[in-house]
Structure 1
Amino acid sequence: MKKRIILFTNIKGGVGKTTLCGLFATYLAQQGIPVAVMDADIQQSLCRHRQRDLSDNPTEELPWQIQSINTSDDEMVESLMEKLKSIPGWILIDCPGNVSDHALKYIYQAADVAIVPFGYDTDTVDATMLFCDLFKRVCPAKMVFVPNNIIVSDERREQVKKDRDEAVKLLGNIGYVTPRIKHGVAVKSYNTLNTLDYWQEKAVENAFKPLIEKIKKL
């Protein structure tokens, strides 16, 4: 298995990068792809999620390992990224919601792929485009955009359709845009220890299947 260092990143808050990172890790593990997760977000949301899940089920087998990264420690981050480059399998990194942490440059420079969740609304697309401009200056990674937490009924509205088409066009000029992931309880209720149930898998597979194939070809 070729190594891949895959970032989940965006400066726009609330787009679901941490949730998608955890879901993607579990989905990869179910596909037999070796995977581990690094939590570089200052809030440590994914690490805390794993701790809560373990407190409820302390003897549960771990489907994937997770480790926190302190992005205020340049030397540690630089050393860690060098080590990760030699590990076979896919390493997912949940990045901070900013581009100002100095040590992020070591994470960006080591990355193969950046997965960027987004919504169709103009504010989110504008922020995502700004992020892309900053990101591409310092990172050679291929960019993949995932329309996430999309309310299906809203897509019947003409303005939402217009916003969607414009977003896909703009971001499609920068990288690959996957099919959308719908808004729903199944996605929000995931557990970092459990395999995805039928409804969770159905919710994400339309985006994750082509995403995996895209990453494999890079």
Structure 2
Amino acid sequence: MIKPNNGLFFLTDALVFPPADSANSEGLLAVGGDLSTERILLAYQKGIFPWFNTDSLILWWSPDPRMVLYPDQIKISKSMQKVLRSNQFTLTKNTCFKEVLDNCSSVERVGQDGTWITADMKKAYLELHEKGYAKSYEVWENDKLVGGLYGVDLGHVFCGESMFSLTSNASKFAFIKLAEELDSKGYSIIDCQLYTDHLASLGAQEITRKEFLTYLKR
């Protein structure tokens, strides 16, 4: 691991990361390395995640503040309460991880051109799924996959990566069901990484990186 003059760390083959609080003001911590299962798991355990575009080197981030949801603080609007009481959607888990991954990478998002879920990232998270670390929640309507999410499960913290919705409320349904299950299992937080209005509307909030790291260590 080499630290150049600009302050960023360049990773070598060694399976090691600099401290998360060494990240710059934008949250960028390190460049390089690989996307092996061992490295990605080590990153999540230290409050770090990969995020980069197709034509970029691998970039590793640890932003401050950090967007999280306490599972017992999920906000469910009156309209979503009606959806949850209805039979519009059904939920499955880990039945079609690849399809969820593909949809997350291809769905159009406002203000976003392209995707950070590159071919290399797909391969890496499929391997994480095959080894039991990456999980998916799938939402179905009339036997059609219409929404879902995926992330990395650390056993006490769920690190959410991405979600998609092909019909109104499908991704909200998945997220609410995730929060309810993790609350029942005593999980500390759901890591949402970065602020969005959508996540805030569901009850997520920003905390300091220092506080976030304490949850990972529990």
Same structural fold, with TM-score higher than 0.5 when normalized by the shorter chain: no
Structure number with the bigger relative contact order (C-alpha 8 A, sep ≥ 6) is 1
TM value normalised by structure 2 = 0.28
TM value normalised by structure 1 = 0.28
Give the structure with the larger strand fraction.
Answer: 2
